[in-house]
Amino acid sequence: MNPRYPKDDDLEHLPGAVRGLRSSWTGRRRDSGFLGEPIMPRAMRLLLCAALLCGADSMASARPEYVVLLHDISDGHHVILCGETLDDPLPPPGQVTPLDRILDDGEDGEGIVIIETGSKDFRFPVTSDDGRFCLDPPLEPPLDPGVYSIMWQSTSGQQAFSPARLRVLSPDYTGRVVVSDIDLTYLQTDFQSASSMARLVREDATEKQPLVGMPELYRGILAHGDTPLVFMSGSPGFFRPTLEARLALDGIRHDALILKPYGAIVKRRLKRGCVRGLVSALKEQVAYKLERLIDLHLHLPAGCGYVLLGDNSESDYVVYPVFRDLLGGDLAPETLFTRLVEQGVDEETATRIMGAAKHLVRRQGDRKVPVDIYIRRVDPAKPLGMDPNIRWHFDSYQLALGLFEQDAISKRDVRRVAAALGEGWTGDQARARSARWALEQGLITRDQMYTLVTEKELAAIERNEDWETWFEAPPTPTPPLEED
């Protein structure tokens, strides 16, 4: 068996319970999620094989040689401390691929996770289970607002480790936290076929391409009031090193990267003998993302609001409004449970989410927080949905204009995003077309748009004449960037 490129016949080498899945991989099925999207069997077969490799029992070295710790953001009362214990250090950031992480399934290990405070450190003993650990300890006394280092101390010999960062927000924080999807929101990702899926797991960070203008937009968000930034994706956990490296290449500092634990899902279902529905469980996004959003808010100040960035390729435009309605008290947890079960989510998962939702509702009380939802229209043919409060956009410039209207990004950084659309006549045409749509859809008001462009440029944007006629004249030189 070649673990890098599993074939159908290679499934015979996997655990016996898994072999029964082969019959369910033929033909087309319907996903049991909210959207009922069709599953692509060959593509899912590759991804499931990778998940099974991650979920298989480790058979490598006697103890791990390298520990990776994960960033987190918290209100200072509780913190989620997670990490991975690996057999060997990963390749350099610019060269690591998801396959490298799949092939190093990790090893059991023991150690102490340390939060360095500069005075009395917090120390938590941990034991990894097949290369992973995660704990949610209360902190007493709570940590003061600031940024702390998360370190590792081995109890079984010296081990190299990758430290992480813990950001603690003030309990009185009422600003906004930006939560962003990754695929087709930040990165240009193709997962519509088996060949594209196979290519994704072989790509290193330099081969993954961000959407035009998105690195400039994220850097602008971070620079505007040091806004917290969390990435949340349904991509498998073995994509983490590659995604972390891509974010570093783009100069995007983030406070957490939340990915879907495919290996844990496979293990849990195989231990219960639940082979049926495993493919749907791996592909399902609504319950997964909703539960992660609720959990995130329960670890952050109750008064913080959100800017939620996603796309309409999967379920973001379904999940985000549900989360907003829960926070606003417009959706009862019991109603949420009924809707989840009606849409095919198993009762165990729906019950767990309902319990977390009840906790969230009790904690919020009468407190109202702003939640702004921005969804990129990847597929214009898909319906926009019935929620009038979703802000739709096609490109990074329209998104930047919407965020500028909400005072979430500066004028200077809006211009940087605009410049990424191109130079000369082509770039001017793209910017004008994009800005016109943003004005028509109400992403930005005319008064706010006027602060970004000249009166002549604004007139060109609003004019309904042929673009080629208007842009025959040399474009107006772009004014130099100005500090706020």
Structure-model confidence comparison of residues 230 and 314, the more confident one = 230
Chain-centre distance for alpha carbon 252: 13
Domain boundaries, position 452: 390-470
pLDDT at 130 exceeding the cut of 90: no
pLDDT of 424 above 90: no
pLDDT, tens digit (0-9, with 9 covering 90-100), for 442-451: 999 999 999 9
N- to C-terminal Cα distance for the chain? 59
Strand order in the sheet with 146-154: 72-74, 164-168, 146-154, 110-116, 122-127
Return the pLDDT at 50: 53
Flag whether 152 is in a domain: yes
Residue 155, helix vs strand vs coil: coil
Query: Do the beta carbons of residue 116 and residue 163 sit within 8 Å?
Result: no
Domain boundary among 114, 145, 168: 168
Taking the CB of residue 180, how many other CB atoms lie within 10 A of it? 23
Among 83-97, 269-283, 457-471, the range scoring the smallest mean pLDDT is 457-471
B/e letters for 279-301, b = 16+ CB within 10 Å, e = fewer, are bbbbbbbbbbbbbbbbbbbebbb
Compute the distance between CA of residue 246 and CA of residue 463 in angstroms, rounded to an integer. 40
Residue 435 near residue 451, CB atoms below 8 Å: no
- In DSSP notation, 87-133 reads SSPPPPTTT--HHHHHH------EEEEEEE-SSS-EEEEEE-BTTEE
Q: Is residue 8 part of a domain?
A: no
Residue of higher predicted confidence among 366 and 272: 366
DSSP 292: H
Going across the sheet that includes 81-86, the strands are 132-135, 81-86, 66-69, 160-162
DSSP 255: S
Give the model's pLDDT for residue 352.
95
Average pLDDT over residues 239-265: 90
Q: Would you say residue 96 has pLDDT above 70? A: yes
DSSP for 260-276, please give it. Answer: E-HHHHHHHHHHTT--T
How would residue 225 be classed by pLDDT, with cut points 50, 70 and 90?
confident
Backbone φ and ψ for 392, nearest 5 degrees, come out as -90, 150
User: Last residue of some domain: 122, 151, 168?
Assistant: 168
> Looking at per-residue confidence, does 217 or 24 come out higher?
217
Lowest mean pLDDT among 302-311, 418-427, 469-478: 469-478
pLDDT at 162: 84
Lowest mean pLDDT among 209-223, 279-293, 300-314, 403-417: 279-293
- Kindly report the average pLDDT of the chain as a whole number: 81
Mind listing the pLDDT tens digit for each residue in 37-61? 333 455 555 555 555 555 544 444 4
Among 205, 259, 132, 218, residue whose Cα is nearest residue 403? 218
Report the predicted TM-score, pTM, of the whole model to 2 decimal places: 0.83
Q: Output the pLDDT for position 60.
A: 42
Predicted confidence at residue 268, as pLDDT, reads 66
Residues 6 or more apart in contact with residue 254 via CB below 8 angstroms: 71, 229, 230, 231, 247
pLDDT exceeds 50 at position 22: no
Residue 117 pLDDT class (50, 70, 90 cuts): very high
Task: Identify whether 98 is part of a domain.
Answer: yes
* Residues in Cβ contact with 270 at an 8 Å cutoff, skipping those fewer than 6 apart: 15, 17, 18, 55
Domain for residue 454, yes or no? yes
pLDDT of residue 72: 96
**pLDDT at position 49:** 57
Query: Does residue 282 form part of some domain?
Result: no
Structure tokens given for 318 = 């379904």
Whether 214 is covered by a domain: the verdict is no
Structurally, the chain folds into a number of domains equal to: 2
Read out DSSP for 313-361?
TTTHHHHHHHHHHHHTT-S-HHHHHHHHHHTT--HHHHHHHHHHHHHHH
Average pLDDT over residues 172-197: 90
**Residue 43 falls within a domain, yes or no?**
no
Give the mean pLDDT of 214-227: 95
More confident call, 386 vs 309: 309
Q: Which of 168, 198, 214 is the last residue before a domain boundary?
A: 168
Q: Which tokens belong to 239?
A: 């994509």
Task: Quote the pLDDT of residue 156.
Answer: 67
- Picking from 152, 150, 161, the residue whose alpha carbon sits closest to that of residue 116 is 150
Contact 435, 401 (CB under 8 A): yes
| CATH code for the domain in which residue 124 is found | 2.60.40
- In the prediction, which pLDDT does 40 show? 43
Residue 403: per-residue pLDDT: 98
pLDDT tens for residues 362-406?
A: 999 999 999 999 999 997 777 766 788 999 999 999 999 999 999
Q: Give the side-chain half-sphere CA count within 13 A for 195.
A: 0
**302: number of Cβ within 10 Å:** 17
**What is the mean pLDDT of the segment spanning 17-33?**
36
Q: Per-residue confidence at 198, pLDDT binned at 50, 70, 90?
A: confident
Q: Is 381 left (phi over 0), alpha (psi -120 to 50) or beta?
A: alpha
Cβ-based burial of 34 (10 A; exposed 0-12, middle 13-18, buried ≥19): buried
- Residue 366 vs residue 460, higher pLDDT: 366
Establish if 360 belongs to a structural domain.
Answer: no
Distance separating alpha carbons of residues 282 and 45, to the nearest angstrom = 11
